[in-house]
């Protein structure tokens, strides 16, 4: 694997229960978990705690390490900014009020409950997605998606993209390194030219990257034809689900259903 591949690929090879679980089941469980989380009304704290218990046990079962999952799951955090205005616009009992120039800002209790719930939901969902990506190789994930009727053309495009992502990432890193190598900074002077110039150079790099991808795809096509490619992509049929996998799916569906009930009962 190239240097970029090690940075990019989120799959962490271990031998654990979660790693061995069928990718189709894992995908269904992750989507079911995120769906359940989305359905729980704001303020359903007991349900949120139970869902957090599930992700935490998932992390422990997968032997990924809490630190790794925590670090990756904080990625979506900045987006919470878009919900922050709700603190002020939700009506309800005032919680904190403080003066701002011209008026008084009022943070309502309902607003705090809603924003905290959105943040928790988002965090829980990202954890489930991290667990899925870190314990399932993309090839298995694609086979699972195919068995859920992902169009063949899309599956093939994703597979080819994944295969060449590292190659193109290395190309992009080389382009960036070349730009850095050719850009000197004179002390006391602003580096990098005018903004328009900087944008044009970056555009040239993007164009060059795209052209290289066109040329590479021709070489790939020739290699595929020489190995018997005739426009048809064939794949092995996927194996039937094991009894354990079916049992895990049904048990999880019951657990998630129970948590959803609890959430609907306790939430606002």
Encoded one letter per residue, x for contact with other proteins by CB under 8 A and - for no contact, window 90-129 reads xx----------xx-x----x-------xxxxxxxxx-xx
Scan residues 182-211 and list those touching other proteins (CB under 8 A).
Answer: 192, 195-196, 198-211
Listed ranges 55-63, 154-162, 244-252, 254-262: which one lies at the site for other proteins (CB under 8 A): 154-162
Interface pick for other proteins out of 76, 107, 241, 255 (rule CB under 8 A):
76
Question: Which C-beta is closer to other proteins: that of 163 or that of 242?
Answer: 163
Bridge partners (DSSP) of residue 99 are 104
Provide the minimum distance between the beta carbon of 55 and other proteins in the complex, in angstroms, as a whole number. Answer: 13
Query: Do the Cβ atoms of 137 and 5 come closer than 8 Å?
Result: no
Check binding of 171 to other proteins (CB under 8 A).
yes
Question: Going residue by residue from 16 to 55, which x/- string records binding to other proteins, judged by CB under 8 A?
Answer: --------------xx--xx-xxx----------------
Q: How many residues form the binding site for other proteins (CB under 8 A)?
A: 99
Shorter beta-carbon distance to other proteins: residue 183 or 244: 183
Enter the tokens of residue 171. Answer: 């190309």
Q: Choose between 20 and 222: whose C-beta lies nearer to other proteins.
A: 222
Does position 163 bind other proteins by CB under 8 A? yes
- Judged by CB under 8 A, the residue of 67, 93, 99, 153 near other proteins is 153
Which of 173, 241, 253, 262 is in the footprint of other proteins by CB under 8 A? Answer: 173
CB of 243 to other proteins, least distance (A): 27
> Residues 50, 60, 61, 83: which binds other proteins (CB under 8 A)?
83
In the chain the first and final C-alpha atoms are separated, in Å, by: 50
């Amino acid at each position: 694997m190239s240097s970029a591949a090690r940075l990019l690929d989120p799959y962490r090879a271990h031998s654990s229960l979660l790693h061995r679980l069928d990718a189709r089941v894992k995908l269904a469980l992750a989507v079911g978990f995120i769906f359940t989380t989305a359905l729980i009304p704001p303020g359903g704290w007991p349900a949120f705690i139970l869902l957090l218990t599930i992700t935490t046990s998932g992390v422990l079962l997968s032997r990924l390490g809490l630190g790794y999952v925590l670090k990756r799951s904080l990625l979506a955090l900045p987006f919470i900014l878009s919900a922050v205005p709700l603190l002020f616009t939700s009506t309800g009992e005032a919680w904190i009020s403080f003066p701002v120039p011209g008026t008084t800002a009022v943070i309502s209790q309902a607003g705090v409950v809603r924003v905290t719930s959105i943040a928790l939901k988002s965090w829980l969902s990202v954890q489930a997605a991290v667990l899925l990506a870190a314990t399932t190789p993309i090839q298995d994930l694609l086979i699972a998606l195919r068995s859920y009727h992902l169009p063949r053309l899309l599956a093939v495009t994703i597979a080819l993209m994944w295969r060449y992502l590292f190659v193109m990432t290395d190309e992009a890193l080389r382009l960036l390194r070349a730009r850095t190598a050719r850009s000197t900074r004179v002390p006391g002077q602003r580096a990098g030219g005018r903004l328009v110039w900087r944008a044009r150079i970056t555009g040239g790099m993007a164009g060059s990257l795209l052209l290289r991808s066109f040329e590479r795809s021709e070489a790939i096509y020739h290699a595929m034809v020489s190995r018997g490619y005739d426009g048809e992509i064939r794949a092995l049929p996927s194996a039937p689900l094991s009894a354990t996998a079916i049992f895990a799916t049904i048990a999880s569906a019951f657990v998630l259903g129970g948590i959803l009930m609890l959430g609907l009962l306790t939430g606002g």
